[in-house]
Amino acid sequence: MERIDKIISNELNIARSDAKSLIRSGKVFVNGVCEKSSSRKLNEEKDILNVNGKEIRFRRFVYIMMNKPKGVISSTDGRKTNEKTVVDILPDDMKRKNLFPAGRLDKNTTGFVLITDDGEFAHRILSPKNHIPKTYIAALDKPFDENIIKAFEKGVTIGSDECLPAVLEAVNGDYKTAKVIIRQGMYHQIKRMFKSFGIEVMELRRIKMGKLSLDDKLSEGECRFLDEFELELIKSN
């Protein structure tokens, strides 16, 4: 149960004071009845909320799959560098307060980004102790070989960082196109792992988190909400 002013503030991405003004103005209806009390608590399973003639679907938390395009940063605020963030490019009807990307992709890496306002869930899937796998496709400037596959399996050392064992496979027999599965999220990890063998990553795309694959119907920059079953797939390792 959440207060109606908090729900409206979150769902419409407006200040709590503006939400209270909407309620006082008689533009908010609950189950077809005008509601003027900002303190009323609503049941997301039973109550129907209507604001300015539009039904508002309210949930305590949201979970959004985005197919991140190049040139967009995995952050909540790009004002200091004048850059677009994954939150900036969400459709207006999906924006709400306190959204953030659960885990980062480099600016020029594309693919699956999870955006949520559920800090506990984000911590669970990002915590190193849980080792949730992330799967990537990398286009390389030169082919890798069996020795590098074995090195990935053992765990690559990059500078002072020790990587956990990772999976490295050729895609359709092409050793310049790699499928990589890692269970960490160190800075530029995959690029640095290949770099240690003299190989440059030309393109990098994340295609899976846990056991949930990026929806191939989503073009770059597009997104959709996830359901409970899909969230369980993300948590699977």
What are the tens digits of pLDDT across the range 144-170?
A: 999 999 999 999 999 888 999 999 999
pTM attached to this predicted model: 0.83
CATH number, domain 133-209: 3.30.70.1560
How sure is the predictor about 91, in pLDDT bands with cuts at 50, 70 and 90? Answer: very high
The fold adopted by the segment(s) 2-56 is 3.10.290
CATH topology of domain 63-127+214-235: Alpha-Beta Plaits (3.30.70)
Residue ranges, comma separated, of all CATH 3.30.70.580 domains in the chain are 63-127+214-235
Burial of 28 from C-beta contacts in 10 A (0-12 / 13-18 / 19+):
buried
Range 165-170, long-range pairs (CB < 8 A, 24+ positions):
166/193, 168/144, 170/144
* Cβ–Cβ under 8 Å, residues 110 and 70: yes
Mean pLDDT of 90-109: 90
Region 85-107: what's the mean pLDDT?
90
Region 86-104: mean pLDDT is 90
Using pLDDT thresholds of 50, 70 and 90, give the confidence band for residue 173: very high
Residue span(s) of the chain under CATH 3.10.290.10 come to 2-56
Is residue 111 pLDDT above 80, yes or no? yes
Rounded Cα gap, residues 84 and 17, in angstroms: 28
At residue 181, the pLDDT reads 96
- pLDDT in the model for residue 56: 83
Delimiting residues of CATH 3.30.70.1560 domain(s) in the chain:
133-209
pLDDT band, very low/low/confident/very high, at 126 (cuts 50, 70, 90): confident
Query: What is the length of the chain?
Result: 237
Residue 141's contacts (CB-CB under 8 Å, 6 or more residues apart) are 176, 199, 200, 202
Burial tier of 174 (Cβ tally within 10 Å: 0-12, 13-18, 19+): exposed
| Contact predicate 19/12, CB 8 Å | yes
The helix/strand/coil state of 24 is: helix
Q: How many CB atoms are located within 10 Å of the residue 124 CB?
A: 15
Average pLDDT across the chain, whole number: 91
What residues act catalytically? 106
Per DSSP (E only), the strands in 52-166 are 54-56, 63-68, 100-101, 110-116, 134-140, 157-158, 161-162
**Taking a C-beta distance cutoff of 8 angstroms, is the pair 27, 51 a contact?**
yes
pLDDT band of residue 231 (cuts 50, 70, 90) is very high
Report how far residue 68's alpha carbon sits from residue 178's, in angstroms, rounded to the nearest whole number. 20
Note the pLDDT of residue 127: 83
